[in-house]
Chain A
């Protein structure tokens, strides 16, 4: 449905030239909840503004339903945006804000009035229809911004970090709300965020971006289980990294050894999630190492055990706090830990450069 082909964006001239986006290509399917995830300055907002049409690309094309829209002005693209600042019109009521897109398109009043009521019902704000938009709370403004962007039934709804201004609890509610809206409207959402948890809970697919390039595009589960490189592994969830040497499918870390069929020969980096670290020597088919318990951090549902390997590498293990805790640890204690081979991943040190 949306096909981004070799899209790039440069700002400035000569020595001051900065490349915000390096020939990015990917496709988004109909009704997909697609997320652009990355730290600030990774190019995700630039990409969003290119799709919305607020800036023109330096190269490449944006093909929507088989038509290149890269040169089309924003008011002719069937794409609407929910802005980070909401950008509600302060001199208009909630109803007038929602009606704006339809009035700009010159639709008849008989069509606009029911559409406003329908949209406001969808975001549960019908009772505030005649209120000034400047008199609403942050969460309510957010809903008006959504209704305003959805009312003209765009092909794609762009959301530019729309939840970042809300407090924690409201944000959780809005995440569920957004997912519901997407299901009910059957629209394609492109969501920009720097919050990996937000991305993991809501998205069908996530594009992880860094340095103006897409590092990996995958489902949340795939991203978490099989990160393409060290950046993705580090950005999504928590990870432990170990330097290792491999030859003939056998990987050595310090004095531990494990069989990993897909490991290439030579020096490499292994990654394992904290919840997969087993704090005993008994696990079968695992890399066994000796470590010192450095620190215990209590998190309610679980405890993070910070460990120090003999070579100084730090490892964090996450242990669930069961009601009848089988084992307890003390800081300074020497223990054995096992890293199961099916939880170990060989990760690429280098970020995508192409």
Chain B
């Protein structure tokens, strides 16, 4: 009886399992298998086992004498991706927290308007948004023209195709993803607790550190994950704002599948990216579940 019951449960779960297998596990499996094959001459792969793809993630072999050295370019891009994603998360937090605070402390009728304004860019095509940012900072762009007209600079500042440009673009694009969860957390915050803390001799800073931040922490963590994960794998923004000079992991992967004609390396890089995202998610679960454990002690 128990056996048939288990069987029925499996049968009921089958559609869900099938969807997950077909659209998540199987493609990932394909990528994993490809990462251990040999690149084909015109893209695609040859079905010959090779660890060269994984090897090339971090190392390179000289074409002339087969000496092995660390792949400076790949490591730079890998590090840049992680650093830019962390920086984007921090900057969106620095701007997003006060913004969310501002919205959450408006009259309830006004809040929806502010939220709408925050999310307008979000409904706009990503490409259009990114090109709009480009228009602001390119050499003949708005910022440079203003600075030139004011006589602050003599020649336009080169801002496009730098890490700064990528960071600016990503901050702009991902800001709503930080504001929304933080806003939701602040909106739930009971402001009588802040009043109680002032009554108990707390300064504004003490209240922020000891009462407000701990209570809106889940929102901050959720917002950080929502920004960090897509920022790490960002493709369009670094492509437009960074060009070939400030590439990120997403662009590197694209390069291997396109011009590079090295699908195994592209696949290995994709798996690397997935593992990095997984690590971030594990860290996130640790943070939130650690909190729950402490709640119940």
Is there contact, CB below 8 Å, between B193 and A104? no
Chain B residues positioned under 8 Å from A87 (CB to CB): 190, 192-193, 195-196
Chain B residues positioned under 8 Å from A148 (CB to CB): 200
Chain A residues positioned under 8 Å from B197 (CB to CB): 89, 100, 104
A127 contacts B by Cβ under 8 Å: no
Is there contact, CB below 8 Å, between A83 and B196? yes
B201 (CB) vs chain A CBs: closest residue: A104
Is there contact, CB below 8 Å, between A101 and B196? no
Which one of B16-24, B209-217, B239-247, B256-264 is at the A interface? B209-217
Chain A residues positioned under 8 Å from B202 (CB to CB): 75, 100, 104
Q: What is the bound-complex CA distance between A54 and B214, given in angstroms?
A: 23
Q: What is the bound-complex CA distance between A144 and B122, given in angstroms?
A: 46
Shortest Cβ distance from B197 into chain A, in angstroms? Answer: 7
Chain A residues positioned under 8 Å from B283 (CB to CB): none
B217 (CB) vs chain A CBs: closest residue: A91
Q: What is the bound-complex CA distance between A75 and B296, given in angstroms?
A: 31
Chain A residues positioned under 8 Å from B193 (CB to CB): 87, 89-90
Q: What is the bound-complex CA distance between A73 and B195, given in angstroms?
A: 11
B203 contacts A by Cβ under 8 Å: yes
A56 contacts B by Cβ under 8 Å: no
B55 contacts A by Cβ under 8 Å: no
Is there contact, CB below 8 Å, between B195 and A105? no
Shortest Cβ distance from B295 into chain A, in angstroms? Answer: 6
Q: What is the bound-complex CA distance between A80 and B210, given in angstroms?
A: 18
Chain A residues positioned under 8 Å from B47 (CB to CB): none
Is there contact, CB below 8 Å, between A75 and B199? yes
Is there contact, CB below 8 Å, between B196 and A105? no
A74 contacts B by Cβ under 8 Å: yes
Chain A residues positioned under 8 Å from B199 (CB to CB): 52-54, 74-75, 79-81, 149
B206 contacts A by Cβ under 8 Å: yes
Most buried by A among B190, B195, B296: B195
Is there contact, CB below 8 Å, between A75 and B198? yes
Is there contact, CB below 8 Å, between A74 and B215? no
**Of A53, A90, A91, A152, which is within 8 A of B200 by CB?**
A152
**Those of A73-123 within 8 Å (CB) of chain B:** 73-76, 79-81, 83, 85, 87, 89-91, 100-101, 103-105
Shortest Cβ distance from B287 into chain A, in angstroms? Answer: 14
**Given A73-B198, A90-B215, A132-B295: A83 touches B203 (CB 8 Å cut-off):** no
Q: What is the bound-complex CA distance between A280 and B226, given in angstroms?
A: 84
Chain A residues positioned under 8 Å from B215 (CB to CB): 90-91
The number of residues on chain A lying at the interface, defined by a beta carbon within 8 Å of a beta carbon of chain B, is 26
Chain B residues positioned under 8 Å from A130 (CB to CB): 297
Chain A residues positioned under 8 Å from B214 (CB to CB): 91
Chain A residues positioned under 8 Å from B192 (CB to CB): 83, 85, 87
Chain B residues positioned under 8 Å from A90 (CB to CB): 193, 215
**Given A87-B195, A89-B211, A132-B295: A101 touches B201 (CB 8 Å cut-off):** yes
Is there contact, CB below 8 Å, between A75 and B201? yes
Is there contact, CB below 8 Å, between A152 and B201? yes
Most buried by A among B198, B206, B210, B297: B198
Q: What is the bound-complex CA distance between A89 and B297, given in angstroms?
A: 16
Q: What is the bound-complex CA distance between A74 and B201, given in angstroms?
A: 7
Per-position 1/0 for B265-297, Cβ under 8 A of A = 000000000000000000000000000000111
Is there contact, CB below 8 Å, between A105 and B201? yes
Per-position 1/0 for B208-245, Cβ under 8 A of A = 00110011000000000000000000000000000000
Shortest Cβ distance from B62 into chain A, in angstroms? Answer: 58
Shortest Cβ distance from B269 into chain A, in angstroms? Answer: 41
Q: What is the bound-complex CA distance between A74 and B194, given in angstroms?
A: 11
Per-position 1/0 for B29-50, Cβ under 8 A of A = 0000000000000000000000
Chain A residues positioned under 8 Å from B206 (CB to CB): 104
A107 (CB) vs chain B CBs: closest residue: B201
**Of B190, B200, B295, which is within 8 A of A80 by CB?**
B200
Chain B residues positioned under 8 Å from A75 (CB to CB): 198-203
Shortest Cβ distance from B297 into chain A, in angstroms? Answer: 8
Q: What is the bound-complex CA distance between A74 and B207, given in angstroms?
A: 13
Most buried by A among B195, B196, B214: B196
Shortest Cβ distance from B204 into chain A, in angstroms? Answer: 9
Is there contact, CB below 8 Å, between A104 and B200? yes
Is there contact, CB below 8 Å, between A101 and B195? no
Chain B residues positioned under 8 Å from A80 (CB to CB): 199-200
Q: What is the bound-complex CA distance between A182 and B202, given in angstroms?
A: 25
Q: What is the bound-complex CA distance between A103 and B210, given in angstroms?
A: 10
Q: What is the bound-complex CA distance between A101 and B195, given in angstroms?
A: 13
Chain A residues positioned under 8 Å from B297 (CB to CB): 130, 132
Q: What is the bound-complex CA distance between A200 and B232, given in angstroms?
A: 67
Chain A residues positioned under 8 Å from B198 (CB to CB): 54, 73-75
Is there contact, CB below 8 Å, between A101 and B200? yes
Known: A54-B199, A104-B197, A152-B200. 14 other contacts (CB 8 A): A53-B199, A54-B198, A73-B198, A75-B201, A75-B202, A81-B196, A87-B196, A91-B215, A104-B210, A105-B201, A130-B297, A132-B296, A148-B200, A152-B201
* 25 A-B pairs with C-beta separation under 8 A: A52-B199, A54-B195, A54-B199, A74-B198, A74-B199, A75-B201, A76-B201, A83-B192, A87-B193, A87-B195, A87-B196, A89-B193, A89-B211, A90-B215, A100-B197, A100-B200, A103-B210, A104-B201, A104-B202, A104-B203, A130-B297, A132-B295, A132-B296, A132-B297, A152-B201
Pairs of residues from A and B, 10 with the lowest C-beta to C-beta distance, nearest first: A87-B196, A101-B200, A104-B202, A104-B201, A74-B198, A87-B192, A75-B198, A81-B199, A91-B214, A75-B201
